[in-house]
Amino acid sequence: MLFAVCALCFILCQFSRSVTGVLGPSLRSELGLSADEMGTLTGAFFWGIALMQIPSGILFDRYGARLTVAITLFAGVAGGLLFAFGESFVALTTGLFVLGLGTSAVFMGAVVLIAQWWPPDRFATLSATMMSLGYLGNLAATEPFVWLMDWIGWRWGYAASILGILLCAILFLTAVRDAPRPPGATKREPESLGTVVRGLGEIFRHPAFPGLAGAAFTSYSTNFAIRGLWIGLYMLDVHGLELAASGRMLLVMAVLGAAGIFLAGWLAGKLGSPRRVVMLFAGTSLCCLLTLALWPGMPTPALLAVLCVYGLFSNFFPAILEHGRSLFDERLRGRSLTSINVWVFVGVGVTQPITGFLMDSFAPVNGAPPEAAYRAMFGYLAAVIFCGVGLYLLLARFPRRP
């Protein structure tokens, strides 16, 4: 029951953050949003998540994951409904920011609960399974949501997912417990503020932390910029693919992404070092983005092939998470993982507005950004991967265990 509630909530949260990839044309035509505004709008969601990561880790230790996740989800529901029925750029941006704050604790709360309820040897498998299940939300945010938009419109379709999140908040309060009975077996005494601060300082001073932060900044921000915002518009503006066709392509990318994220976690354990997995996945993603950036007039079949490869290899965060888990003691586990996880969402919060600015810096052709704008954006994302993973390879050494 506990795992099912966590998985359902995570799926709905993934849907709420990914559906903007399909909504891009609707938001542009219905509300007249510019590319810069589109980037800022989607970035606001991830700034909300980023700001709550470290506070969530502290709240997990002091009050438990059940209460932390439930209360923040209620706030997220208010933000989601504001986005669903907002009529201005400010209302939509505020709604997504509050929704980001409210859903910020869901995934890491699920990880904490897994650690409490299951033995250590099942932690990696169940955490990777949770990540993969989240991609069902990405799948639902593609062609299925296009069908729903045709039926009831995007606003009511989005509102339905927010009501699902409200149901999850209620289930967290009524059907989830922080630990098996007796509670004394896993209960941890709340730490003092001084101890919390010293623990965070210990994490931030670790010599590998900047490298882990760089890789985390890179892994999801570049993936989401493509899948969650620009690729639908690119297929429409440059290749002339209609909404249904781009929705099918996004569906394929989401399926491949679910397989890839599980593959990254499995290989990190199988090969004995997550660094090799990060190098493989990041190198392949870099090649795909450089291809998109440097090939003008790319034929549509070649584009679809590149997007399939990119969808499979673009998210290697499980390998980064495994690397971070291996470096810190159990007493710092929650704070260390959230301190790494925060850079995932900082990456999206920074990258989305920058890509929007790049797109707007080119004069539109027939009311849409030209191919050169998209190629510049792809080139920027390739540079992000090169710099972030380069920092990881230089600084984040992996301690080999006997």
What CATH number is associated with residue 87?
Answer: 1.20.1250.20
Consecutive H or E run containing 356? helix 333-360
CB 221 within 8 A of CB 230: no
Phi–psi pair at 81, nearest 5 degrees = -70, -35
The per-residue pLDDT for 388 is 93
- Residue 166 maps to a domain: yes
Apex CA 384: angle with CA 381 and CA 386, to 5°? 110
- Alpha-carbon gap, residue 292 to 234, rounded angstroms: 11
SS (H, E, C) 329-355: CHHHHHHHHHHHHHHHHHHHHHHHHHH
Specify the number of domains making up the chain: 1
- Residue 37 maps to a domain: yes
Give pTM, 2 decimals.
Answer: 0.75
Quote the tokens at residue 283: 């190198």
- Residue 185 maps to a domain: no
- Residues in Cβ contact with 134 at an 8 Å cutoff, skipping those fewer than 6 apart: 7, 10, 11, 13, 14, 107
Residue 225: closest CA among 10, 20, 11: 20
Q: What spatial distance separates the first Cα and last Cα of the chain, rounded to whole Å?
A: 37
- With H, G, I as helix, E, B as strand and everything else as coil, classify residue 237: helix
- Alpha-carbon gap, residue 245 to 237, rounded angstroms: 13
- With H, G, I as helix, E, B as strand and everything else as coil, classify residue 365: strand
The per-residue pLDDT for 185 is 47
Domain extent for 33: 2-180+194-395
- What dihedral angle (degrees, nearest 10) is formed by the CA atoms of 233, 239, 243, 247? -80
CB 289 within 8 A of CB 385: yes
The per-residue pLDDT for 384 is 95
- Alpha-carbon gap, residue 73 to 269, rounded angstroms: 33
Alpha helix (H) ranges present in 64-207?
65-85, 89-103, 106-117, 123-140, 143-175, 193-204
According to DSSP, residue 185 is labeled G
Could you tell me the mean pLDDT of each successive run of 10 residues in the chain, 402 residues long? 85 82 73 75 81 82 83 92 86 90 87 76 72 79 77 84 91 81 54 72 88 90 82 85 78 84 81 85 95 92 93 87 78 78 83 86 83 93 94 79 41
- Alpha-carbon gap, residue 67 to 110, rounded angstroms: 12
- Residue 186 maps to a domain: no
The per-residue pLDDT for 344 is 84
CB 327 within 8 A of CB 206: yes
The per-residue pLDDT for 401 is 45
Half-sphere exposure of 331 (CA within 13 A, CB side): 9
- Residue 263 maps to a domain: yes
- Residue 401 maps to a domain: no
Distance of CA 108 to CAs 53, 184, 246, 320, Å? 9, 22, 32, 14
Query: What is the residue type of 289?
Result: L
- Residue 187 maps to a domain: no
- Residue 188 maps to a domain: no
- Alpha-carbon gap, residue 346 to 51, rounded angstroms: 8
